[in-house]
Amino acid sequence: MDSQVKHLLSLRAIRERAKTVGEAAKSGKLTHFDLHEDRLDDVVDFVASVIKRDFGPDEFDKIPPHGRWQHFEVGKIPRIANITDVWKKEGCDDLELTRRLIDLFFVSVLLDAGAGHHWRYIETETDQTYERSEGIAVASFHMFKSLAFTAAKSEKVPVVDGKGLEALTTDALIAGFQVSADNPMLGVESRATLLRSLGQSLLANSDIFGVNGRPGNLVDYMLKSAGNSNSLDILVFWDVLQSLLIPIWPKDRTTIGEQPIGDAWPLSTLRNWASSSNSTNNGDFIQPFHKLTQWLTYSLMVPFQRVLGMEWINSESLTALAEYRNGGLFVDFGVLSLKQEALDRGRKASGGDLPLFDAGDDVIAEWRAMTVVLVDILHQMISSSKDGIPLTLAQLLEAGTWKSGREIAAQRRPDTKSSPILIKSDGTVF
């Protein structure tokens, strides 16, 4: 693999490139945004208040790491605990429990791009209605239980396998997610295509995922990599996930040569800020994010910890997730504001007050890079304030920025609860 491609696929490159964008921001050299650092204190106060309201002052240690597990408990229903209790009664040991959770979390996370403002899911068992990420979690949970993602349906065991994913039809996803003309979801076809491609990639990596291409076999691979240690390495885990997932992303994404590099985008700020270097290598001006792969990593870490009692090393290499809730927080508080030209172009595209851009637009790439930068700054500010809240980045994302981004959006735009900047989602980026 080309050394530059390998670098852009790494976790290190995300923060390294974003740091350069942050330096440009401090010098007033962003292409599409202005940075107002004096307003960061307002974000700190708001996020800290949300964390303290829900967990403070004596329960910060109870904040779970950011991950999919919590979404399965929406409505205060312990769906994961309930289903694992059933599996235990059927004779599953902890290893198989973890494999099944990895199976479930894998497909659920990869389906978890923005659903749009109008989609809802009604859970038949509870008659409760859910939306957005939690709705996708519950819908995928019930599809998993109904054997939608396995070819071995006659065995009546809820697992995921490569042939099952390869055969998944868009109509099956539409039915499972209750999508209709009256209940539209963004990017349904793209999501189904992504899962079918995942099936092919799982089968092509049989040395890790077995001849059936089961995501849960990642458990055995990682335990073997740990040897006699109780520690698993995020960097080893990351390389496995990238090798599996990079081939499945849409073919019109950024490439170097003919090598796709996933959720990574050319960014004018990197080119402009580095103009004095005289580099002519376009790969030097690409900002990687790998948001869905990081979201998957955060989520898959949890079953290893909770069920198997394993620990993770190098987890600090993971970054903030560059998505619209974390990013919208800084726009809604005025830390970032669109320059007039970008604002006018976005409003023209939307036909309304909120600007709209394609997911791969230079505006969105710059916004996402600044999201990585600003969440790191916020993490430091919240930890070092006089009433400091000692959290890991994963805890801050869970109880702080993501939740706060959602809450301020609901306050500012109660009808839609949308981000302050709209994104044309294809069902695979956000």
Global pTM exceeds 0.85: yes
Say yes or no to pLDDT of 276 above 60.
no
Checking if the pLDDT of 9 tops 60, the result is yes
Q: Give pLDDT, residue 114.
A: 72
Count Cα atoms within 13 angstroms, Cβ side, for 330.
28
Q: Is the pLDDT of residue 277 over 70?
A: no
Give the model's confidence band at 370: pLDDT under 50 very low, under 70 low, under 90 confident, else very high: very high
Residue 41 has pLDDT above 60, yes or no: yes
Q: Which two tokens stand for residue 424?
A: 């044309």
The more confident residue out of 344 and 114 is 344
Cβ proximity of 166 and 196 under 8 Å = yes
The predicted-structure confidence for 182-193, as pLDDT tens digits, reads as follows 999 988 998 999
Task: Return the minimum-mean-pLDDT range out of 25-39, 72-86, 242-256, 288-302.
Answer: 242-256
The predicted pLDDT at position 253 comes to 82
Longest dimension (CA), the chain: 65
Closest CA to 168 of 145, 147, 154: 147
- Cis ω on the peptide bond leading into residue 57 (within 30° of 0)? yes
What was the pLDDT predicted at 283?
85
In this prediction, residue 429 carries a pLDDT of 61
Instruction: Give the model's pLDDT for residue 354.
Output: 97
* pLDDT for 280: 65
Q: Other CB atoms closer than 10 Å to residue 242's CB: what's the count?
A: 19
The number of beta carbons lying within 10 Å of the beta carbon of residue 131 is: 16
- β-partners of residue 423 are 357
| pLDDT given for residue 384 in this prediction | 86
Pairing between strand 231-233 and 33-35?
unpaired
pLDDT at 1: 63
CA dihedral sign, ordered 317, 321, 326, 328: positive
| Band (386; pLDDT cuts 50, 70, 90) | low
The residue count of the chain comes to: 430
